[in-house]
Structure formats: structure tokens, C-alpha cells
Chain A
Amino acid sequence: MSEGVAAPEFVGSGDGSHQLTLFVSGGSDLSARAIANARRLCEMHLDGRYHLSIVDIHEDPAAVRTSRVRAAPTLVQYRPLPVRRVVGDLSDTDRVLLGLGIRAPTDVSRTR
């Protein structure tokens, strides 16, 4: 049984924008924290050039297979390529930005 890595359908995504999906597991504290962090992060650093969808893996088990999500929460950036993933509650903003390729590694080292 192979699994696809196809991006979910995005509605109203513009050219060059960031397509993001946050997979969470139920309505736990962890999920809530991750959702809040993701929203804040997108607002601050992507400035409207993004589309963020949130999937509860319990409600959409099929998405687990297609998205290759093992851990929750997982933020997957389907566009721009390559597909990047950030696992965790997204509390470390610098690491998230590094993980999504929004900030280059040198920037990270400087900001630290």
C-alpha cells in the first residue's frame, strides 16, 4: 500500500503563496496551542501570502495516510516546493520559520 503526497485541494490560493495544512489530534491543549501558534506565525511572517487549513486527524483518518503524518501536531507546507514539515506545537518560531524555509539558516544564527 503506497501512500500519496498529494496536496489537499486549496481554495482561493494565489500564485506564489504559501499553502499550509496543520494536522492536529483532537481538541487537546496541544492542538489548541499549535493552532494558535500557526495562526500567529502566518500573520506575522507571511503577511497574507498564505493559505492555512487545519485538519483533525481523528475526523479525517484518510488524510493521515495521504499526508504521511505520523506525529501530531504537524504543519505541512505543500507550496512552495519542496514539501516541508514541522512537527510539534510550533512554540519555537525561529525553528518553524527555518523548517518552512521562510528564513535562511544564516538568518537564524544571526538572530540568535
Chain B
Amino acid sequence: MVTTQATVTKRSGATIESAVRRGELPKTPTGISGLDEVTRGGLPRGRPTLVCGPAGCGKTLLALEFLVRGITEFDEPGVMVAFEESAEDLIANVASLGFDLNQFTADGQLVIDHIKVDATGTKETGEWDLDGLFLRLGAAIDKVGAKRVVIDTIETLFGAFSNTAVLRFELRRLFGWLKDRGVTTVITGERGDGTLTRYGIEEYVSDCVIVLDHRVTEQTSTRRLRILKYRGSLHGTNEYPFLIAETGISVLPITSPALLHIVSTERVSTGVARLDAMLGDGGFYKGSTVLVSGTAGTGKSTLAAHFCDATCALGDRALYFAFEESEGEILRNMASVGIDLKQWVDAGLLRFQCTRPNLLGLEAHLFAMQKLVGEFDPAVVILDPVSDLLRIATEPNVAAMLTRQVDFLKARGVTGLFTSLNSDAQANQTDHQIASLVDTWLLIETAAGNGERNRTLSLLKSRGMAHSNQIREFLLTSHGVELTDVYVGPHGVLTGSAREAQEARERSDETVRLQDLEQLRGKLARRRESVEAQTATLWRELQDEADIVGRSVSQGSTGDENRASQRVEQGRLRQADADEPEGTAPVLDGNVRSS
């Protein structure tokens, strides 16, 4: 979460600068993840802030982290005045969060002053003041040049002094004194019966009041933070869930302040070629959020595995949060459909985080996920399935949590794929609640019929891309998911064996038709052969006749010539006229066929 903190810090700094420019209240960033966003820059600088709530809600920790972050991130030394816990206890308590208070003390950046207050052996008579306390606090502030002071818990004083009129006057004087010294102070107070604090400290601390709460709903506890009052400043007014995590307090604003995500036109392959084609050109948008909903056993996880596989194949990292299966189960199950995820796990590109939803509260889940995403820096995050979270929280809460997750992922440009299990073919309420958040919504349905269940996949929505409106049949084969066209024809939309039967029927019809055609062709060929044979015979006969005729003609003409020459001879002999016309006997050409 280092990067997150860094960005928070940066943003807080910018907010303060701009606030001062606008003449707004100067603020001291707490450095606590999320709190500076909710308070729009931090706590009022140089003024006291009251943090109140019931026992165990995290008041002391919040106050301590305020000091620690001040030292580590803003170079502002601090003083911790502890009325309840000893310095040793405090140091031990926060050591688990990685805060080395001893080091800060040794470096002269922190003073932890445990002021033990006990009523035993003490009596009061008449007037008094708290100068002893002031002196001690003043000495501590001067010792390190403190800019931040925490008083935990000042109400302990009420147990030690019976004259509350004097004490109240002195507390008012104390807060005034702290303001004069210009230190930003956090005062913690225990929640009273019907009041914010047991002794009404809120009357004196009027600048900023933060209320912490710790509620158990459906056996899951959630800590919440609310800015009750912030004089002179805008602030978030909602109750914000917060966590005490391994790195300190983390306040999770329910919605990000602005929709300023990085938008990419780059596509990432889904790992299923046909699905890429359905999505227009090349798959999901990088940094988009995808919801895959479907009933049990429809192959949602397989689709997710394909996506991981495709991501890792490009050398990018994928993070898989599984709420139902263990890593081993997923690897085995995906291997059975031909998706080898183990190679990516071995290569360090794929990481599984398998937890039962009820192991942690909703907020803790969210935080754990965000923390891991921050550490692993994946390109793709899978949540399988988000509907499991409904077991530990109500639908509006899950939807709110997923909204934050979507915002978080989008802000980082991480592509998210959530699966959601539906009880029936209809999408459930959560789906609808987060459907408006996701960019692409795939629905896998099963249709029962002909004694079988068949899966179909359709794209319910896909923002910003021309996508197919067709339902595809979704097949789980030994080499992964395959999408095929469903049969759409005069007999309706058919899938599975019905589709195959229909296709077979069409194939057999075709065969018969081809056979018939072949037969006809043969028949025609044979007829042609016979016709040609007959024609040839006729021609031969005709030719013969023609030859005969030819021969007769040539014989006849020879006779004519002879007769003509005889006639000429006779005429010459008789001295007849020479202009007698030539003989015009018809000539029959032998080449009849060519004419």
C-alpha cells in the first residue's frame, strides 16, 4: 500500500495548498489512508480534534497513526500523552503495525508521556488548577518541537478529580492553551450514554469531531468512521467503513470523489478467439470491468481461467481471488479442460488468493484485495465469484463494496473480471446493482431440453464497442472453451445434440440429394452416349447414300460430256451454228456433310 499512501499524501498536499489559496481553513494531513480524502485534506491545523467512540473502536490507534504518519511523512514531531496505557504497552501494541515508536523516541521525534492518574490517596479541598499537566505537556512539546499532540484519553481525569466544575474549566483552558501553541491536537474520548463522550468533552472541542463506531451485522463486524462536525470546512458526511489492517488504519470512501479513471482503447484478449470476435475486435478494453454471470457449472471460472491464461501468455500478471475453490482444485480443474495455469503460477505471473468469504468481513476482504493488488501489480484481477460475498453481507453492502473495488481497479487501469453465480437463469439483484458499473456483461445460460443441458453465451452489454448480438453455444471441451454458432433455422434456435441432430439431418438430406443428382447425371451421360451413337450411325448411312448419289452423278456427267462432244463433233461435221448453249446438267458435290 506504499504507493497508495504516497498518492494520498501527494493529493493532501495539493489540497492544502489550494485551500490556503482559496482562503480556507489550513489543514494538517493525517497521512492515514483515506481519512484525508474524507476530511478533504486533513484535520484543522493548530486546533484540537475530538475522536470519540466506544471501547475498542480504534481511537488510540487512529491517534497514534496520526502521530506516526506526521513523523514519517510530513516531518512533524509529535507528543503522545497517555492517561490510560503505559508507554511500554503503547509501543508493544503498535509494533505489530510496523511502527517503531522506540526509534522515533530515540530520534527525538516523539515523546510518549504516560501520565498516571489515580484517585487513590488523593483528596481535594477547594480550588486548584491543572498547571502541573500544562507544564509537563509544555515541556514535552518543547523537547521535540512537536507540531502534533495526542491526548488519550483526557476523560480519565474525571475519574481522578471530583470537582468537575474546576476540571471543566481547566480543560477549556487546556484546549485554548494548545491552540495558542499552534499544535494540531487529537483528543480521544470514550462514548457516553446518549452522548458523544462520557463527560461531554465535545462541548470544548468544537472544531472537528470524528466519531468511530464498531458494529456487528450478520455476525460480521465493521468499523465505521464519520465526520460529525468540521467547522469551516466541507467534509464527507457519510459513514465510511475503515479497517485496522497490517499497515495501520485504512478508511475506505464508499465512492471515489471523482470519476477520473485512465481510459484505454487498448484491447486485451479474452483467451477465447471466438469471444474476442464477438466483442468486436480483440477482446475487452484494458482497464474495463467485466461481469460474467451464470448459473452453477456454466463455465464461468473456465472463462476466467482462459482470460488469465491469455494475460499471462503475453507476460502480464494476473491475480485470481477465489472464494470457492482452492488453488490446487482450480489448477486441476482447468488442466482437465486443457488450460495449463500451473506454468504461469510457476513463472510468477499468476497468483491465487483463495479465502472463504466468511473468513473476513467485507471491508477486510476489500482491503486485503486492494493491498494484494498494490503489491502484485497485476494487469488482470479475477473475483470468483462475487456472489459468494452475499453470504457475509447484504446486497446493498456487497454492491457498495464492489463499487469501490471497481473504482479502485479502474483507477489503477487493471482489467477486472467478476463472476457471479445466479440461482436461476435470471440475473440476481447484485448483478443488476453492479451491472451499471461494469463495462461488459456476459451471461452464460443453460437451456434444458431433449434430456440435456446446453450452455449458451450472450453479451448483455459491452460499452464502447460494436459487439455481436448473437447467442453462441458455449462448449467446454478438452481444449477449453469453444463457442459455436447455434442452429437458427425453420425449426427454431437449437443447441447441443438437437443442433447436431439437425445438422446431421441436413447433412443426410444433402447426401441423398447429391446421390440423386449423381444418378441423373449418369443417366444423362448414358443417354447422351446413346444419342451420339445413333447420330453417328445415321451419319454413316447418310454418307453412304451421298457417296452413291455422287458416284451416279459423276457417271451421268461423263455421258453428257461424251454426248456434248459428240454433238459438237456432229455439228461441226454438219456445219451447224456455234452459239448453241453449253450443257447445264446439275452437279452434286460429294462434300454434303460440311454444308
Contact = CB atoms under 8 A, between A and B. Distances in A.
Interface in A62-97: 64-65, 68-74, 82-92, 95-96
Interface stretch (B118-126, B236-244, B454-462, B509-517): B118-126
A42 interface: no
Contacts of A89: 125-128
Contacts of A61: 135-136, 139
A95 B170 CA distance: 22
Given A71-B128, A98-B123, 5 more contacts: A1-B113, A23-B132, A33-B126, A64-B136, A95-B125
B129 interface: yes
A83 B123 CA distance: 12
A103 to B, nearest CB: 12
Nearest to A85: B122
B499 interface: no
Interface string A32-76: 010000000000000000000000011001001100111111100
6 contacts: A26-B131, A30-B129, A65-B136, A74-B132, A87-B122, A88-B126
B123 A96 contact: yes
A81 to B, nearest CB: 10
Interface of A: 1-3, 23, 25-26, 30, 33, 57-58, 61, 64-65, 68-74, 82-92, 95-96, 98-99
Contacts of A88: 124-128, 163
A72 B126 CA distance: 11
B114 interface: yes
Interface string B168-199: 00100000000000000000000000000000
A24 to B, nearest CB: 9
Contacts of A25: 129, 131-132, 135
Given A1-B114, A87-B123, A64 B129 contact: no
B441 to A, nearest CB: 60
Nearest to A100: B123
The residue among A33, A68, A72, A87 with the most chain B CB atoms within 10 A of its own CB is: A87
A83 B121 CA distance: 7
Contacts of A65: 136
Interface residues of B, number: 30
Nearest to B115: A70
Nearest to A28: B129
Contacts, number: 104
A2 B113 CA distance: 8
B123 to A, nearest CB: 3
Interface string B125-159: 11111111101100100000000000000000100
Contacts of A82: 121
Nearest to A89: B126
B402 interface: no
Contacts of A83: 121
A71 to B, nearest CB: 4
A3 B139 CA distance: 15
A57 B112 CA distance: 21
B523 interface: no
Interface in B402-416: none
A104 B123 CA distance: 14
A99 B126 contact: no
A85 B123 CA distance: 6
Interface string B260-272: 0000000000000
A33 B123 CA distance: 17
A85 B170 CA distance: 19
Given A58-B135, A61-B135, A71 B130 contact: yes
B177 to A, nearest CB: 13
Given A1-B87, A2-B114, A92-B126, A70 B133 contact: yes
A71 B114 contact: no
Contacts of B132: 23, 25, 57, 64, 69-72, 74
B366 interface: no
